[in-house]
Amino acid sequence: METLYNYIEGKLLPPHAGKYIDNYNPAEGKVYSLIPDSDERDVAAAVAAAQHAFAEWSSMPVDKRSAILLRIADLIDRDLDKLALAESIDNGKPVKLARAVDIPRASANMRFFASGAIHFASEAHVTGNEAVNYTLRTPVGVAGCISPWNLPLYLFTWKIAPALAAGCTVVAKPSELTPMTAFLFSQLCIEAGLPKGVLNIVHGLGTKAGQAIVEHPDVTAISFTGGTVTGRKIAATAAPMFKKLSLELGGKNPNIVFADCDFEQAIQTSLHSSFSNQGEICLCGSRIFVEQSIYQKFTDEFVKRTTALVVGDPLLPETTTGALVSEVHMNKILSYIELAKQEGGDILAGGNRVAVAGKCAQGYFIAPTVIAGLDHLCRTNQEEIFGPVVTIMPFETEDEVIRYANSTTYGLSATLWTENLKRAHRISAQLKSGIIWVNCWLFRDLRSPFGGMKQSGVGREGGWEALRFFTEAKNVCIKL
Ligand code: NDP
């Protein structure tokens, strides 16, 4: 059985306590590797290494820093198949999805921020003929980056790439449920010649290793992606210490389908936005609202195609829906399906655990599930389920659907299907979501700000926003 190590000061090290946590392959329900159960001593060593490396890394010419990060991106591309396989085994997602989306987007993150840092500029303001003010941006210091299990390497690099490109050194923790690609990434950093201590990866539990990163007084900025409850706890720890904080949290995203949509495109993409990655994407559209006049037609076709999805071994090419990340998570989703029934929902598709034959017999699989007949305010429609479960509801008017869409405490993303341009603009402006996709889903341009409104997050990532986050702005005023 493989044992993973922390990456501290350029070396792969065992945890101080010598304790390890079982790492499961969720498609087989079996332990297949061991990861360090790190504690505050490992975090302290990682922070000390990062502090030590800061002076050299932050003052290195930006093109040299960029070249090292680009080398890491090249190595990710070289190891695409190996990383995709590791991510699939760790997370349960279909390997073809990891190969097509997760890993290419991870190397794109490295490339984008490596080149972005070279073109980064700050502002200057000429105050008449009296003074010149310019903004000097300097890296914040040691950044703490904490990422979730659903898109492991993709979201891990989404945080550390801008931090490193901006000149920060980093202590990062991947989710304990999906540590493998971060471990392989640490090996690529060594191969690429990343100076020791610039990036440190500490594996372990969120409540122990993660909390120690957030609490450490020498970690000056925290970039966190994960659940809203955890985000609240992190904010409560970091805010009194006046740390810079970026929180990307949960979602309960509306997918709004008007009768004038391109029906085929809306159906096909809604299938992806509902069930890709087993519905374990914070941006999945888990509440589908369909205009009354096409409600029945849309629902019938959507249910037909949902039922045709192939649940099974993530390593097989025909599989569209793999395993849930853990048994605990699977049981949480099944309990939400029970809740939906109690709340009066009709299960139109799925609704059950799936027994997959062969080596995946003990795996954590749930059939893609469609539920109708629920009120938009019931718990099923208000709480994040984060699995292959969507609800479908009719609406009559624009005002009504805007009210439904905005009725949750979340505000991460929304999808809108209409061929009416004016309506698209009108509704986009009224939806309380940080990202609105019109006639598409999960399309990304890395230059755009990314983040949620309301309880879906604080701050924006992506593009210049991320590079700015990892810097401190200082105004220099020169009297003429
Ligand atoms: P969690 O909030 O449980 O965990 C996220 C990360 O935080 C993990 O690495 C976890 O470690 C760690 N952690 C847990 N407790 C603490 C703590 N007290 N201090 C510091 N770190 C801690 O989220 P999940 O991993 O379950 O991810 C799913 C959630 O992430 C969903 O709500 C989803 O919507 C959200 N998400 C948001 C995205 C966005 O961009 N807005 C994108 C993707 C997901 P460990 O796993 O070891 O407990």
Render pLDDT for 431-474 as a digit per residue (tens, 0 to 9).
999 999 999 999 999 999 999 999 999 998 888 899 999 999 99
Please tell me whether residues 145 and 220 are part of one structural domain.
Answer: yes
Pocket lining: 452 vs ligand 1, CB cutoff 6 Å: yes
Is 451 inside any structural domain? no
pLDDT score, position 475: 96
Report the alpha-carbon distance of residue 8 to residue 16 in Å, rounded: 12
Instruction: Write out the H or E segment, with its range, that includes residue 242.
Output: none
| C-beta separation of 151 from 58 below 8 A | no
- 43, 175, 278: residue to mutate for ligand 1 pocket, most atoms within 8 A of CB: 175
Other Cβ atoms within 10 Å of 80 Cβ, number: 16
Is 71 inside any structural domain? yes
Could you tell me the residue range of the domain that residue 257 belongs to?
Answer: 253-445
Please tell me whether residues 156 and 289 are part of one structural domain.
Answer: no
pLDDT score, position 462: 84
Please tell me whether residues 164 and 180 are part of one structural domain.
Answer: yes
Pocket lining: 233 vs ligand 1, CB cutoff 6 Å: yes
CA of 158 to the centre of ligand 1 (A): 14
Residue nearest to atom 43 of ligand 1 (CA): 282
CA of 296 to the centre of ligand 1 (A): 37
pLDDT score, position 136: 95
Please tell me whether residues 137 and 11 are part of one structural domain.
Answer: yes
Pocket lining: 171 vs ligand 1, CB cutoff 6 Å: no
Please tell me whether residues 140 and 280 are part of one structural domain.
Answer: no
Cα–Cα nearest to 197, from 6, 41, 37: 6
Q: What are the C-alpha distances in Å from 348 to residues 61, 368, 385?
A: 59, 10, 17
Please tell me whether residues 307 and 390 are part of one structural domain.
Answer: yes
The catalytic residue among 87, 248, 301, 384 is 248
Please tell me whether residues 194 and 65 are part of one structural domain.
Answer: yes
Report the alpha-carbon distance of residue 71 to residue 478 in Å, rounded: 40
| C-beta separation of 454 from 248 below 8 A | no
3-state secondary structure of 462: coil
Is 450 inside any structural domain? no
- Could you confirm whether 123 is annotated as catalytic? no
First to last CA, the chain: 68
> Residue 279: which region, alpha, beta or left (left: phi > 0; alpha: psi -120 to 50)?
left
Atom of ligand 1 nearest to the CA of 213: 20
Question: Taking each helix axis from N to C terminus, what angle separates 62-78 and 103-119, rounded to the nearest 10 degrees?
Answer: 170
Is 237 inside any structural domain? yes
- Could you confirm whether 282 is annotated as catalytic? yes
Please tell me whether residues 40 and 166 are part of one structural domain.
Answer: yes
pLDDT score, position 463: 85
3-state secondary structure of 126: strand
Pocket lining: 148 vs ligand 1, CB cutoff 6 Å: yes
The catalytic residue among 189, 261, 282, 360 is 282
Q: How many domains are contained in the chain? A: 2
Please tell me whether residues 295 and 330 are part of one structural domain.
Answer: yes
Pocket lining: 195 vs ligand 1, CB cutoff 6 Å: no
pLDDT in tens, the chain (480 residues): 899 999 999 999 999 999 999 999 999 999 999 999 999 999 999 999 999 999 999 999 999 999 999 999 999 999 999 999 999 999 999 999 999 999 999 999 999 999 999 999 899 999 999 999 999 999 999 999 999 999 999 999 999 999 999 999 999 999 999 999 999 999 999 999 999 999 999 999 999 999 999 999 999 999 999 999 999 999 999 999 999 999 999 999 999 999 999 999 999 999 999 999 999 999 999 999 999 999 999 999 999 999 999 999 999 999 999 999 999 999 999 999 999 999 999 999 999 999 999 999 999 999 999 999 999 999 999 999 999 999 999 999 999 999 999 999 999 999 999 999 999 999 999 999 999 999 999 999 999 999 999 999 999 888 889 999 999 999 999 999
> Residue 276: which region, alpha, beta or left (left: phi > 0; alpha: psi -120 to 50)?
beta
The CATH number given to whatever domain includes residue 358 is 3.40.309.10
Please tell me whether residues 320 and 349 are part of one structural domain.
Answer: yes
